[in-house]
Structure 1
Amino acid sequence: MITIDNIDRNKLYWIFQLFGWTLFFIIYSLMAGYFTNFQWQVFAGYLNTVTVGFLLTHFYRMYIKKHEWVKLGIFKLAIRVLMASFFIAMIWALIILPINKTFFNVEKSEELTWFIVLVIVFNLSVMTLGWSLIYFLFQLFINFKKSEVEKWKLEAAVKDAELIALKSQVNPHFIFNSLNNIRSLVIENPEKARDMITHLSGLLRYSIQFNNMERVSLEHELEIVQNYLNLESIQLEDRLNYKLEIKPETLELKIPPMAVQLLVENAIKHGIANLPQGGIINIKSSLENDTLIVEVINSGQIRKCEDSTGIGLKNASDRLKLLFGKLSDLKIENLDSNFVSAKFKIPLTQ
């Protein structure tokens, strides 16, 4: 596939230069030959004109590149192109007119008058101006495409940087919560603390292995979620119940790492942990119209919490948007007076 990065501009120039002048020679010599009974002098005269034009425009291009005309403003460029077109046309005429008149003139009796010379110079100026217009339009097109590619690369780099920044915030977020849980049990129940450390090591292993990736399978994500739930259930004991309603066809589908885990963490921190009797977390997945739907339902209600930064949920939402666009917007709402739903959708067609 040809892209702006691998285009050989010099090779492309020679292709257009040869093709353009050859096409010009064929069309105009045939048109002129038709009215002069296709005499060989007509073809020879046009061949001389085209050859000189080919060489002059090539040197013209060299001058343009040397003095970097493509970087000029539109007004300065227009003035230079008009002057150059007239100057090249005069040189062009000075070269071809004596040759054509001496060797290829069909009507020997025809004399060159100043009017005829001026008409020829004007026509050659228009031809040079047309060549200039095509050349600079092509340069404009190439530079525009190149800037578009650079813009896409910059956006991709910014996206990668944002993802790295989001991930660097996510890891300390859940580690801080887990260490707080362990700290509270180290003295009063060392055995449970050891179990929590085991589960935490599983979380960290997942983070090292998969958090450097943009996407992981839902199955891998659910492994860390269950690890996290087991860790929290040691502290919350019978106050935490959970169940999974996962469609088998969704297990291999890709999602951002930690997306579901963050929703579950939020459900426990702002839902189950605040209920004296505890509650339940239900994790669901389904596939509808080429869209993966993941929903975490938990006991509780959405309330503003002054001591919460909201970093975790914001990062989950931002990461989903970065990877999958607006269609993956995270939505959190009260289902009824007892349950909260956190749901995101990921289109599989991207």
Structure 2
Amino acid sequence: MKPNKNISLYWKCQLLGWSLAGLFWAFSAWMQVQNTPQHRGFSFQLALLHFILDIVIGIAVTHAYYLFAHKLNWVGLKLKSMPAKLILAVFVMGLVYMFLVIIKLYVLRNYFSYSFNETFLGFFAQNYLIVLASGIRLMAIWVLAFHLYHYAVMEIDTAKKYARLEVVAREAQLQQLAAQLNPHFFFNSLNSVKALISTNPVKARRAIDLLSDLLRNSLYRQNTDLISLHDEMSLVNDYLELEKIRFEERLQFTITIDEFPDTCSILPLSVQTLAENAIKHGIALQKDGGRIIIAIKRQEGCIRISVQSPGRLNSTVETNGLGLKNLKERLQLQYSNKASLNLTELPGDSVLSTITIPLS
């Protein structure tokens, strides 16, 4: 495996930041020399040495703090803990920076200027306040930027963790709801087959074939949050055909669907739940049966799924059953309160169930 030769963001910022600072100081020195009467000229060799040593000193002091902060886990400091510790750190870094810069200045002046004969202590006493103030200012800027960056990263990581926990919790709830709904659906279907076995074995065999298809489709899709509209309607067709075998002429149904993209997806068993509810609380309670009308339409950026069936709305039974209660919770979880499920009693003894979801 080849070693990773990419420079980290930290070192890019270090090199770029201190290089820009060094260039600024070199330019300031050049301007000062140009504005000095009878100047002896600007030494580019000396300026290059200052530039290199300024970068080395700046990186040495700040990287020492970088190592120190990571060792003591100061990168995870809370806001209320920062001021006291960081003020002390900035002052210490400023002192170290001051000593290194004054040593650099003294050595270079002593080497490049033959007329320079000042003692180190005298030179130090003359310059330490200016260099210390400059060092504290620089270190304060660096430390503030360093900790603000890490604080921002920490906040982003925390937000990501909470978001991930919410997603995991939502997926767990959806799986739990699906686990409740599948047995409920198949127990009802098995009861339909059971009713046919003694009266019409031929239709019972056909019903078993349809039920096996329904079971196969459900098992293959049990871990998916969404399925295509086409697949859901295929399941609904099989379910209604299965129920028509039981109810015969008492059950009629009509399905109309607007054109939707192939990628259009909805909740599994959502339309089927409304169809099952219409049969259980509508067709099964009507002596002459009736017609179920399923319409899926595009409406203002949403998918509107409606199932109309004969009967009257019984709020204590029909709207609080396991199927609809389960469906409401799944819609709320999947679409974050952007979907709705409504049941309305219409004139002429019919009930309209409507799901409205965003068009993905």
TM-score range, shorter chain: 0.7 to 0.9
8 Å contact 1:272–1:278 — kept in the other structure? yes
Query: What code does the residue aligned with 2:153 have?
Result: I
8 Å contact 2:23–2:51 — kept in the other structure? no
Query: What code does the residue aligned with 1:29 have?
Result: A
Q: Deviations over 1:35-94 (max 9, x none)?
A: 223733566445433421211111111111111112334344322222222222222222
**How much has 1:136 moved relative to structure 2?**
0.4
Q: Partner of 2:352 in structure 1?
A: 341
Counting only pairs closer than 5 Å after superposition, residues 73-84 of structure 1 correspond to structure 2 as 73-84=78-89
Q: Partner of 1:273 in structure 2?
A: 284
Root-mean-square deviation (CA, aligned residues, Å) is: 2.8
Q: Deviations over 1:88-139 (max 9, x none)?
A: 2222222221331242378958853646413321321221121100100111
**How much has 1:188 moved relative to structure 2?**
4.4
Correspondence 1:31 to 2:28: yes
Q: Partner of 2:59 in structure 1?
A: 54
Task: Report the 3-state secondary structure (helix = DSSP H, G, I; strand = E; otherwise coil) of the residue aligned with 1:21.
Answer: helix
Q: Partner of 2:338 in structure 1?
A: 327
In structure 2, C-alpha distance between the alignment counterparts of 1:289 and 1:339, rounded to whole Å: 26
Q: Partner of 2:129 in structure 1?
A: 118
Counting only pairs closer than 5 Å after superposition, residues 1-350 of structure 1 correspond to structure 2 as 11-37=8-34, 39-40=42-43, 41=46, 44-45=49-50, 47-104=52-109, 108=116, 112=123, 114=125, 116-249=127-260, 253-306=264-317, 310-348=321-359, 350=360
Q: Deviations over 1:297-339 (max 9, x none)?
A: 1111211345985221122233334334433322221233422
In structure 1, C-alpha distance between the alignment counterparts of 2:144 and 2:95, rounded to whole Å: 19
Task: Report the 3-state secondary structure (helix = DSSP H, G, I; strand = E; otherwise coil) of the residue aligned with 1:93.
Answer: helix
Q: Deviations over 1:128-178 (max 9, x none)?
A: 121100100111122222223323322322232222112111111111112
Pair 151,288 (structure 1): closer, same or farther in 2 beyond 3 Å: same
Q: Partner of 2:38 in structure 1?
A: none
Identical-pair percentage: 30
Deviating more after overlay: 139-148 vs 304-313: 304-313
Query: What code does the residue aligned with 2:89 have?
Result: A
Aligned length: 342
Q: Partner of 1:3 in structure 2?
A: none
Pair 78,317 (structure 1): closer, same or farther in 2 beyond 3 Å: same
In structure 2, list runs of 5 or more residues that go unmatched.
Answer: 35-40
Question: Given the two structures, how large is their TM-score scaled by the length of structure 2?
Answer: 0.84
In structure 1, list runs of 5 or more residues that go unmatched.
Answer: 1-7
**How much has 1:247 moved relative to structure 2?**
2.8
Query: What code does the residue aligned with 1:31 have?
Result: S
Question: Given the two structures, how large is their TM-score scaled by the length of structure 1?
Answer: 0.86
Pair 115,267 (structure 1): closer, same or farther in 2 beyond 3 Å: farther
In structure 2, C-alpha distance between the alignment counterparts of 1:293 and 1:218, rounded to whole Å: 12
Query: What code does the residue aligned with 2:74 have?
Result: W
**How much has 1:189 moved relative to structure 2?**
4.2
Query: What code does the residue aligned with 2:15 have?
Result: L
Task: Report the 3-state secondary structure (helix = DSSP H, G, I; strand = E; otherwise coil) of the residue aligned with 1:332.
Answer: strand
Q: Partner of 2:37 in structure 1?
A: none
Query: What code does the residue aligned with 1:39 have?
Result: F
Task: Report the 3-state secondary structure (helix = DSSP H, G, I; strand = E; otherwise coil) of the residue aligned with 2:254.
Answer: strand
